[in-house]
Amino acid sequence: MKLKIGIAIDFFILLSLVLVPGYSFAQLEEPVYHVGDYWTYKVTGDMSSGLIPISLQGIGMVKVEDQTTLTIEGSIYDVWKVTQNIAVTSDTFNLSMVMYSTLYPKVSDLARVKEFNDNEITSTVMTESSHEEITYLNPQAGLDYPVNVGDSWERHVEKEITDDTGTRTETEDIYYECTGTTEVNTEAGSFTCYIIRRVKDDPQGDTYDIEYRSQTAGYTVKALSYEEGNQTLAMTLTAYNYLGDDGDNGGGTPGFEMVLVVIALISMVIFIKKKR
């Protein structure tokens, strides 16, 4: 009788392994950040043009630096200070590109209030730099949480750009769609991710980004950029420190599914020993 009960318990636990992920990943919830959370990436790319091969390699990092306040047009916001830094190089033309951003999303709902972007490209044939300042008069988060498969949404922003040609103001329409979920394997681990397609100006355009977002990692696990349907850049997670809701490091805490596996194995061992 005890053996039959043990088999029933094991069956229930193993069945849970199949059923639980469907509920665990029913939607992508808004992440909970803490100062010190970070994500590092390996960056690779191919921006070849014609007969000139341009292979890129580099690193990227996103970090929650501080919690502070920001005053915009008389309104005071409690915000995170988040930095994003990407540096890539290529042997072709001794090309070097550095992209550095500082973002200020609201602590309450991650709606972006302010953003600064600095880009610099240097090579043996050219040098270019630009600075962007974006003010979100109607703050909204980039992702429309909670995200479900099939959801679509859009964002419209105005930015002031300063470069070698002077200063100008541009508007940008960005369209998003969550197209599904998938497993993504990286140096930082394996993650169940939501697939987010992001495209500017034309929702059906063939120049777009695909972002893989994970509830466990709290941020992007992988990002791919496409120009005219051809992949040009890839960013893949290599390490991260995400505290999440419970204050534990997301990179070091086993998921609930793994806990169930351990319980099932322990249960089986116990009943095998009792049979002996």
Residue 268 tokens read as: 């089986």
Round to whole Å and give the CA distance between 48 and 142. 30
* pLDDT tens, N- to C-terminus, the chain (276 residues): 544 444 444 434 333 333 333 334 568 999 999 999 999 999 998 877 666 778 889 999 999 999 999 998 889 999 999 999 999 999 888 999 999 999 999 999 999 999 999 999 999 988 999 999 988 878 889 899 999 999 999 988 888 888 888 899 988 889 999 999 999 999 999 999 999 999 987 777 788 999 999 999 999 999 999 988 888 889 999 999 998 876 544 433 333 333 333 334 344 444 434 444
Q: Which helix (H) or strand (E) holds 11?
A: helix 2-24
Rounded to whole angstroms, what are the CA distances from 259 to 24, 75, 168, 266?
14, 46, 54, 11
Rounded to whole angstroms, what are the CA distances from 176 to 137, 173, 209, 231?
20, 10, 10, 18
Q: How is residue 125 annotated by DSSP?
A: S
The pTM score is 0.78
Phi, then psi, of 76 in degrees rounded to 5: -100, 130
| pLDDT, position 26 | 63
The string of DSSP codes covering 212-229 is EEETTTSSEEEEEEEETT
Q: CB neighbours (10 Å) of residue 180? A: 12
Beta strands in 91-186 (DSSP E): 95-105, 112-122, 127-140, 152-163, 166-186
Q: CB neighbours (10 Å) of residue 37? A: 23
Closest CA to 73 of 112, 101, 114: 114
Q: How is residue 94 annotated by DSSP?
A: G
| pLDDT, position 164 | 83
| pLDDT, position 77 | 96
Closest CA to 130 of 156, 164, 90: 164
Q: How many CA atoms lie within 13 A of 43 on its CB side?
A: 22
Instruction: Establish whether the linkage from the previous residue to 146 is cis, with ω within 30° of 0.
Output: yes
| pLDDT, position 89 | 93
Closest CA to 115 of 144, 80, 88, 146: 80
| pLDDT, position 15 | 36
Round to whole Å and give the CA distance between 55 and 91. 8
The answer to whether 222 and 238 are in contact (CB under 8 A) is no
Round to whole Å and give the CA distance between 54 and 39. 26
Phi, then psi, of 271 in degrees rounded to 5: -75, -30
**Residue type for position 71:** T
| pLDDT, position 9 | 42
